[in-house]
A and B are shown apart, each in its own frame.
Chain A
Amino acid sequence: MSALSLQRIGALALRYLYLLRSSWIRIVELAYWPTVQMILWGFITRYLAGHSDVIHQASGLLLSGVLLWDILFRSQLGLSVVFFEELHSRNLGQLFISPLQPLELILSLMLVSLARTLIGVGIAVLLAIPFYGFNLFQLGPPLASFFLNLILMGWAIGLMVSALVLRNGMGAESIAWAAIFAIAPLCGIYYPISTLPGWLQPLSWALPASHVFEGMRSVLLHHTFRADYLLYALLLNAGYLALGVSVFLGAIHGARERGSLLQSGE
């Protein structure tokens, strides 16, 4: 393996930047769903604040949950969808005959996913301040660790979904949207993990996001930052990310065995 090149990673990131700036609808689309979600849950919070002790105690609980969830969702989608662009435009073959290495492709996908997540969720976070007087930054320094863990988990899932589509073709594209929702009930976004049936809880604790959302509740309800949650989440993410990278590289190797990089497309 040759040395990784920042220039090549930047070149591919530039390709996605060009794509993004070619259409203002794409930029609006990035922020649209996070903002709609934030507005919806903001009203639900207002309603529940008068009827629920927990929400009354920490009115940011639901809005923090929805915005942090969107970090996970957008980072996964940002990585997968950008990779699908290459398949749609039948550009993957061109990329793989260039000096771009698979790890450089992965790093550029992560870079673009990060930018897309910051734009998309960032706008919703900022709009929540005038809309509901809710500031996600009230979570303080722990917010950075929550963000890091959610984005890492999103990338791991995004790589696995991209590998699946590379293996099975664009027919499997809808999995990119569905995959993350399959684990949403287990992550404890809006409720503690203890709410889940006992047999599901071990599965839930195996997900880095569950530790993040429990950590978030701990900060909002008890004003305590639980470093143990952060550590577990980081360890789990290291495993999931290694798995995601391996599966993605394996899918590229498989595509080179089958010759599908030449014909990959719609």
Chain B
Amino acid sequence: MTEAPVIRVDDLRKHYGTVRAVDGISFSVARGATCALLGGNGAGKTTTIAMLLGLLLPTGGQIRILGEDIPRQRYRVLPRMNFSSPYMDLPQRLTVWENLTVYARLYGVRHSRERLATLGRELDIDAFFKRPYGTLSAGQKTRVVLAKALLNEPEILLLDEPTASLDPDTADRMRSILTDYRDRSGATLLLASHNMSEVERLCDQVIMLRAGRIVAAGAPRELIQRYGRKDMEEVFLDIARGIQSGEVVA
């Protein structure tokens, strides 16, 4: 028997007046998979993630995460998932340690000191545990926010641009941390990214959005083959510019 998907979205819609930010999308993500939501600015990626988290109420459609209805039963699921985005901050004046301690308690993490120490080593943030979060560089902040997202060892990890504002070396380390975490824990990852090499390396499933609709979906290799391109970067450009698979562009 096939295991039920951990994320199941049916006919999800979010309308702001006449603007259709998300316009009837359906998809599912299997346990342990890494799925990317791709699309240009305003395609509906962040809106979709916000609805999965229950931060945004859908206009219509249904979301089920770990078998629970979102947003109605979100408090049953939230302890088992987490989210990292460089666009959502933490209190600036609190030190990194204080911030992570507060969130460890909010997520009910047992042995939080040990967990923080482990994450400190893994993400190389222990050197600035005592510094106020507001004094960190953008790259350091991204790592701290990722540490927050890994505190509760989530079964589902949602990531918005996980390596934005990181130098190539640190970004590469972050990707290794994410794949290690996924392989070790069996967690499901859903990420929005503009970094196509990252998507090729991390993801086994891609959902391409344009104007709130799914315009293509499949494994990265499948899409590259379908569009007759050499990598995901070119596939992304085709889709963002509205070129159908198989069309030849002069």
Contacts and interface: CB of A to CB of B under 8 A. Distances in A.
A7 B50 contact: no
Contacts of B108: 5, 7-8, 99
Interface in A4-23: 5, 7-8, 10-12, 14-15, 18-19, 22-23
A262 B89 contact: no
B53 interface: yes
Interface string B64-106: 0000000100011011001100011111111100100111011
Contact of B75 (A2, A89, A91): A2
B105 A97 contact: no
B148 interface: yes
Interface residues of A, number: 36
A1 interface: yes
A1 B72 CA distance: 9
B107 A91 contact: no
A95 to B, nearest CB: 8
A19 B83 CA distance: 24
B105 A11 contact: yes
Contacts of B142: none
B43 to A, nearest CB: 15
Contact of A99 (B47, B78, B91): B78
A262 B50 contact: yes
Contacts of B53: 97
B55 interface: yes
B150 to A, nearest CB: 14
State the majority secondary structure of interface residues on A: helix
A6 to B, nearest CB: 11
B106 A12 contact: yes
A65 to B, nearest CB: 35
A101 interface: yes
Contact of B105 (A7, A22, A265): A7
B188 interface: no
A99 B57 contact: no
Interface of A: 1-2, 5, 7-8, 10-12, 14-15, 18-19, 22-23, 85-86, 89-91, 93-101, 253, 256-259, 261-262, 265
28 contacts: A2-B75, A8-B105, A10-B105, A14-B102, A15-B91, A18-B98, A18-B102, A22-B94, A22-B132, A23-B93, A89-B92, A89-B93, A91-B89, A93-B88, A95-B106, A97-B53, A99-B75, A99-B107, A100-B106, A253-B57, A256-B56, A257-B56, A258-B16, A259-B14, A259-B16, A259-B50, A262-B56, A262-B88
Given A256-B55, A258-B16, 17 more contacts: A5-B108, A12-B106, A15-B102, A18-B98, A19-B91, A94-B88, A95-B106, A97-B54, A99-B75, A99-B78, A99-B79, A99-B107, A99-B108, A100-B106, A257-B56, A259-B55, A262-B56
List the 8 closest pairs (A to B, CB-CB), nearest first: A11-B105, A90-B89, A2-B75, A89-B91, A15-B102, A18-B98, A98-B106, A259-B56
